[in-house]
Amino acid sequence: MQTPVVGFDLDMTLVDTRPGIAAVWDAVSAQTGVPVDSAAAVERLGPPLEDELARWYPEERHAEVGDLFRSLYPGLAVTSSAALPGAREAVDAVRRHGGRVVVVTGKYEPNARLHLEHLGIEADEVVGWRWGEGKGETLRAHGATIYVGDHLGDILGARSAGALAVAVASGPISAAELRAAGADAVLDSLEQFPGWFEEYLLGGRLAQLDSHLAGLDSVAVAFSGGADSAFLLAAAVRALGADRVAAVTAVSASLPAAELEAARAFAGGLGVRHLTPRTAEMDRAGYRANDGDRCYFCKAELLDVLAPIAAELGLAHVLTGTNADDAVAGFRPGIRAAAERGAVTPLRDAGLTKAQVRAASRRWGLSTWDKPAAACLSSRVAYGIEISPERLARVERAERALREALVAAGIEVADQRVRDLGDLARVEVDGDRVEQVRAVPAVLEAVLAAGFERVELDPRGFRSGAMNELLGEPQRYR
């Protein structure tokens, strides 16, 4: 996955510097005795300072007056300038996707940094005294694929860098002029940038996914029925055709029966072969022991079963639905086991996050687009407590009872879990539904009746991977 690098101009793109710059010009005018129309000057922001100096001073005075302008700037211009609407959110949108932000501006670099520090806008790099094609050289050096600016010179800079030119009509140039100059996208303000950026990334990553899958010839998809593997299966069918794709759902005590039926129906809707081999992770001592690396043994068993099936069917690759978020989520021994066995991870390789998988699934009309996370039943059992078919069956009964009790109480939740902490069941629901559940004792009583001695409601609400929080803690729940 390529990290997105986005360049931003400063003046009238991220920051409205007009009031401050007007104040500086007024002070320069007063000190030099040369009348300067500061209002007109700030309407021409974008080109180098020397271009504006040339309107008011002879060339031999440019260095002197330029130094004066820059010396007065910190005290007069920084605190009086404001972030433009959407500026912080635009930068945050890049960071949210693991991207880097490079501010490339015609402004004197130390003063540009003062603006960003004052407004709390963090950039990975700030480069000043660049304009036009000079901006392009800097953007290219930093690997920027997008440059956002308000001026025609910013479009030229993006073009010369081979980057996408995103123009924002917050400066002196109209949206029509920016379009006519060849901007790839024109936004009314940076408030529109996060939505545009999300769509840009999703489109690019979907194209990368399709290209990757098309080059795999034929595939077997490890298909749990969850949102990620369902989307991957649908994407594989789109890229390769149903006859070169097989869905393989591993059947064992850790798979809820309802999930198997849903997986069968989904695969049937796509017209792909659906195989349901049994896996024997329970035969692996490391899996039963349920230490922190349990998922390693589970994924090892899955791939050791799937690989021969794929070979027998003449399918060239085995795919898993690991997404880009999974790859940075910390402790994931299952990913390591799959990688050791040569599994391909197209979603992760294309940089597709969980949110993007859901967005694309919705766009494609897949029923799984909003399906709650449904990890295997073993993930409900606290580390250090031995996994057994009886324990998993109890968890499945308890979660079924929980769902039914929530429906009966009229409490709608997106995610719910029953965590097995030995004799104690810990119930997790959406954080904003905790108090509703607490007010209806019958909900927790239904979980208790499934075979636990005690039950408690987690006040922090549902959290994917909550059991990892207990790693390294004394096992108090056996």
pLDDT category at 218 given cuts 50, 70, 90 is very high
CA dist 168 and 14 (Å) reads 10
Specify the range with the lowest mean pLDDT, choosing from 142-151, 173-182, 365-374.
Answer: 365-374
Share of the chain above pLDDT 90, in %: 85
Per-residue pLDDT tens digits for 89-98 = 999 999 988 8
Q: Going edge to edge, which strands form the sheet with 146-149? A: 125-127, 100-104, 5-8, 146-149, 164-168, 185-187
Contact 220, 319 (CB under 8 A): yes
Residue 469: pLDDT over 80: no
pLDDT category at 466 given cuts 50, 70, 90 is low
Top-confidence range, 12-26, 289-303, 314-328, 461-475: 12-26
pLDDT category at 477 given cuts 50, 70, 90 is very low
Residue 470: pLDDT over 70: no
CA dihedral 322, 327, 330, 331 (to 10 degrees): 40
Per-residue pLDDT tens digits for 327-345 = 776 557 888 999 999 999 9
**Tell me, what amino acid is at 263?**
A
Residue 312: pLDDT over 50: yes
What is the residue-averaged pLDDT of the chain?
93
CA of residue 417 relative to chain centroid, distance: 24
Residue 375: pLDDT over 90: no
Predicted local distance difference test score (pLDDT) of residue 471:
55
Residue 468: pLDDT over 70: no
pLDDT category at 256 given cuts 50, 70, 90 is confident
**Span 411-417, mean pLDDT?**
92
* pTM, entire model: 0.79
Nearest residue to 129 (alpha-carbon basis) of 70, 74, 71? 70
CA dist 52 and 33 (Å) reads 16
CA of residue 80 relative to chain centroid, distance: 34
**Span 351-367, mean pLDDT?**
95
Residue 79 three-state SS = coil
Per-residue pLDDT tens digits for 37-80 = 999 999 998 888 999 999 999 999 999 999 999 999 999 999 99
Per-residue pLDDT tens digits for 428-439 = 999 999 999 999
Predicted local distance difference test score (pLDDT) of residue 255:
82
CA dist 358 and 368 (Å) reads 8
Contact 253, 305 (CB under 8 A): no
- Stated as kind and residue range, the H or E segment containing 8 is strand 5-8
Predicted local distance difference test score (pLDDT) of residue 98:
87
pLDDT category at 476 given cuts 50, 70, 90 is very low
Sign of CA dihedral 309, 315, 321, 324: positive
Nearest residue to 280 (alpha-carbon basis) of 265, 308, 300? 300
Predicted local distance difference test score (pLDDT) of residue 258:
81
Predicted local distance difference test score (pLDDT) of residue 192:
98
Specify the range with the lowest mean pLDDT, choosing from 132-136, 333-337, 351-355, 470-474.
Answer: 470-474
Residue 183: pLDDT over 90: yes
Share of the chain above pLDDT 70, in %: 96
Per-residue pLDDT tens digits for 190-212 = 999 999 999 999 999 999 999 99
- 364 is written with which tokens? 């494609």
pLDDT category at 475 given cuts 50, 70, 90 is very low
Per-residue pLDDT tens digits for 261-279 = 999 999 999 999 999 999 9
CB-based burial label for 382 (10 Å; 0-12, 13-18, 19+): buried
Domains observed in the chain: 5-13+82-201 (3.40.50.1000), 18-77 (1.10.150), 215-371 (3.40.50.620), 378-470 (3.30.300.10)
- 395 is written with which tokens? 């968890």
Sort strands 185-187 and 164-168 into parallel, antiparallel or unpaired: parallel
Which residues, 6 or more positions from 292, have their beta carbon under 8 angstroms from its beta carbon? 331, 333, 383, 468, 471
**Span 154-175, mean pLDDT?**
96
Contact 406, 427 (CB under 8 A): no
